[in-house]
Chain A
Amino acid sequence: MTYLHNIGAYFIMIKDMFRKPTKWSVMKTLIFKDIDDLIIGSLGIVAFISFFVGGVVTIQTALNITSPLIPKYLVGFATRQSVILEFAPTFISIIMAGKVGSFITSSIGTMRVTEQIDALEVMGINAINYLVFPKFIALMLYPFVISIAMFLGIIGGMAACIYGGFSTLDDYITGIQMDFIPFHVTYAFIKTFVFAFCLATIPSFHGYFMKGGALEVGKASTTAFVWTSVVIILLNYILTQLLLS
């Protein structure tokens, strides 16, 4: 019953997010602040992880190609496919569920604990619109982060390939250009938009409706991370089934 109640409360929160909008002059500031906190603030860690995981994917692929009959450009091909289809949109989203999700839950949860949300409601402000909507809009720029992750993942793979001596630059570039299907990028970005929606709303839900004190803020952050990850993994499976099979 609790799960059903929470699912219902989540969808009511989504509806309330679009009701009674906050003044544009105020909302604009909030959106830019959230873009800075959620998008710009995540670029460093995303770039670092993407570059090195791209390299690891390349090394592992190269090491598993033992037959001389398999062409070396397959390393580039496998890296591109792994990074574009799965690593950048899904793996980075799980990392963002930890980084951005816990930030959203703890910041909104702290506002709940310290009665700042009550203060907004007393003033007649739609607190859900004020707090959640700017995060939702900011995270609509999340595909920009994923584009960078895709690019740096492939560059990381290239660096590992060349400096590790697994294949030549020409082979790698041939591999990443081979049998390119543009719909795979579309598929990745459709997933990215869906995951961005989850990243903005699930942690906000856990922060907004939390009860208790500082300890519960920590628990809510952990719960938000777990549920955001679970939902991302499930939606990843459903979207892959729908779009690629």
Chain B
Amino acid sequence: MIEVKNLNKSFGDAHVLKGISTSFENGKTSLVIGQSGSGKTVFLKCLLGLFYPEEGTISYDGKIYSELNSDEKRDLRSEMGMVFQGSALFDSMTILENVMFPLRMFTKQNKSEMEDRADFVLKRVNLADAHYKMPSEASGGMQKRVAIARAIVNKPKYLFCDEPNSGLDPKTAIVIDNLIQEITEEYNITTVINSHDMNSVMEIGEKIVFLKDGLKAWEGSKETIFKTDNKVVTDFVYSSELFKKVRQMYLEERQ
């Protein structure tokens, strides 16, 4: 479980995160949504320890990040998996080597053990026959799946995804969403996803945190987002006619 308390982060005069407090539970897929520039990426990078907040604390299963020494921080980071927006695969390595990379860095497994584990997770993300391709030879959807495989290969406790669906067609996006949710439940991981994609919100948002101008404007789930009257949320989530109709139908069904 990740608990965030009163998180504040500035860059010069720009106060990007303004006292955000929330929590993300184990085995659940949580989404952080908001407009571009609302502070989602900065928030995620604070969770990852890439940015240091000026104020506030982030605790991972009770361990407060800012109070850990460098070795403890390193150990904690080895328990994190991250899926970057652009996949961030190492382009000098094959897909198999990319997936094996965290194992090579953090475990004492021999080569065949690492290959077995990498093979297992590649099959789990439905990439059974792409082991020896280079990342540049893989499609966007395949690259995302490799990134997910790399993120989960070392059995992380925390999985972070920055816009995992960006640049993907709607069908592949749903496959990726479902894959992340299945993996989260299967391995009881705490998953936090940054997203703009309203399909993802409706599909897998077991917890949704809505950021606006660096503030937490709303918090709920995929069920409560239909019922909320919060104008800031409804203006953002139901900005398209399609989602307006979906919401209307949902509310009519409930009545």
Contacts and interface: CB of A to CB of B under 8 A. Distances in A.
A6 interface: no
Contacts of A118: 50, 82, 84, 88
B91 A22 contact: no
B75 interface: yes
Label chain B's interface by main secondary structure. Answer: mixed
Contact of A125 (B76, B82, B105): B105
Given A121-B50, A122-B48, A115 B104 contact: no
15 contacts: A22-B105, A25-B104, A110-B91, A114-B88, A114-B91, A115-B84, A119-B82, A119-B88, A122-B48, A122-B77, A122-B82, A122-B160, A123-B77, A123-B106, A125-B105
State which size class the interface on B falls in: 20 to 34
Interface of B: 48-50, 70, 73-78, 80, 82, 84-86, 88-91, 101-102, 104-106, 160
A242 interface: no
Contacts of B70: 20
Contacts of A25: 104
Contact of B88 (A22, A23, A116, A124): A116
B162 to A, nearest CB: 9
Contacts of A123: 77-78, 80, 82, 101-102, 105-106
Interface of A: 20, 22-23, 25-26, 110, 114-116, 118-119, 121-125
A125 B74 CA distance: 8
A119 B84 contact: yes
A116 B93 CA distance: 12
Contacts of B80: 122-124
A228 to B, nearest CB: 23
A23 B50 contact: no
Contacts of B105: 22-23, 26, 123, 125
A2 to B, nearest CB: 15
A111 B77 CA distance: 20
Contacts of B86: 114-115
A122 B88 CA distance: 11
A115 B75 contact: no
Contacts of A125: 105
Contacts of A22: 105
A118 to B, nearest CB: 7
A25 B49 CA distance: 27
Nearest to A113: B86
Contacts of A124: 73-78, 80, 106
B82 A116 contact: no
B40 to A, nearest CB: 15
Contacts of B102: 123
Nearest to B147: A119
Nearest to A115: B88
Contacts of A119: 82, 84, 88, 90
Contacts of B160: 122
Report, nearest first, the 9 A-B pairs whose CB atoms are least far apart.
A124-B77, A115-B88, A119-B88, A124-B74, A122-B82, A115-B84, A124-B78, A116-B88, A122-B48
A104 to B, nearest CB: 14
A119 B89 CA distance: 8
A243 B8 CA distance: 55
A121 to B, nearest CB: 6
B100 to A, nearest CB: 11
A23 B106 CA distance: 9
